[in-house]
Amino acid sequence: MKTVLLIIAAVVAVALLVTLAWAWTPDRALDELKARYTNGPDDFRDIAGTRIHLRDEGPRDAPAVILLHGFGASLHTWEPWAASLADEFRVVTLDLPGGGLSGRDPTGDYSDTRSMEILASLMDELGLAQASLVGNSMGGRIAWRFAAEFPERVERLVLIAPDGFASPGFEYGVAPEVPAVLRLMRHALPRSVLRMNLQAAYADPGALSAPVVRRYHDLMLAPGNRDALLDRMAQVMLEPPEPLLARIEAPTLLVWGEKDAMVPFTNAADYLAALPTARLVSFEDLGHVPHEEAAARSLVPVREFLAGRTP
């Protein structure tokens, strides 16, 4: 019996070693990532004590629009929208610390308060007294909180499936528990596993292209990003949104995919109740990232709203 147990133990150990060898995912070389995913060294600025990767496109004297990505994404999620909007607007996109190529924040602070500090400093650096904000998911939460805190600096507000209301695992006033299985991604993040997770953001998983998966995977493997993402998740501290939302003065457009599996479409009603002057545009066949899944179609109402051609 002892011999059998030893054999079983040896087999299990070998299987685990093989699995770890397959799944082990080291960081990507930063120089390689910069060569592939930046336009050049001018894409980086020192903002509020941290290095930020950003793009500033379009006419400098045009109305400014700043686009804020969601958790685990980067400024590249906005590329189709940014390219189109830049004929009419000054378009600013950025990698929030821990996303894309901005790297870790030296402060170790990934709270919404810190994100708003970075956003305000970025606007100051670019000479923008006011801008319209567009945010998806986590970026939407940062956008509406900024609009509540600094109403004089936000001209218009577009919230795409914004985060902020309590949900399972994210309670008001309680820091979430980061599951141990997620902490494993620091060492093991095969592209195939990431693809399965990204597919949940699409109503049609087939719309998720191989180049997009590669980009997400590459940038999550930028040095320090996985640690930063885990820190950001652990530092989420939600509070009841209604009092903050009531302070928003900017005209607001809600954009939602009705097949959103990440932030439920039913949350749109919560935002409309708290923002009675807001307007909702929904897409019955899209998911959590309509700007990626159907970029041209989803941009139409957003462009009209940003230009003030609709209420």
pLDDT of the residue at 1: 33
Output the CA angle 186-227-177, nearest 5 degrees. 90
Q: Which of 165, 174, 129 is nearest to 145 (CA)?
A: 165
CB burial string 255-288: b at 16+ within 10 A, e below: bbbebbebbebebbebbeebbeebebbebeebbb
At residue 142 the predicted structure's pLDDT band, cuts being 50, 70 and 90, is very high
Report helix, strand or coil for 161.
coil
* Inter-residue contact 258 to 172 (CB < 8 Å): no
pLDDT of the residue at 176: 83
Sign of CA dihedral 254, 257, 260, 265: positive
136 or 4: which carries more pLDDT confidence?
A: 136
Matching residue, tokens 């990440």: 262
Q: Which helix (H) or strand (E) holds 64?
A: strand 64-68
> How far from chain centre, in Å, is Cα 290?
13
pLDDT of the residue at 311: 64
205 or 5: which carries more pLDDT confidence?
A: 205
pLDDT of the residue at 20: 45
SS percent in the chain: helix, strand, coil, step 5? 45, 15, 40
At residue 23 the predicted structure's pLDDT band, cuts being 50, 70 and 90, is low
Q: Which CATH superfamily is domain 29-306 in?
A: Alpha/Beta hydrolase fold, catalytic domain (3.40.50.1820)
Domain spans in the chain, listed from the N-terminal domain onward: 29-306
171 or 141: which carries more pLDDT confidence?
A: 141
* Inter-residue contact 194 to 72 (CB < 8 Å): no
Q: How many CA atoms lie within 13 A of 234 on its CB side?
A: 13
pLDDT of the residue at 12: 33
At residue 310 the predicted structure's pLDDT band, cuts being 50, 70 and 90, is confident
Q: Which of 157, 162, 141 is nearest to 232 (CA)?
A: 141
Interval 98-116: pLDDT, tens: 999 999 999 999 999 999 9
Interval 175-191: pLDDT, tens: 888 888 778 888 899 99
For residue 117, pLDDT beyond 80: yes
Q: What is the pTM of this model?
A: 0.92
Interval 59-111: pLDDT, tens: 999 999 999 999 999 999 999 999 999 999 999 999 999 999 999 999 999 99
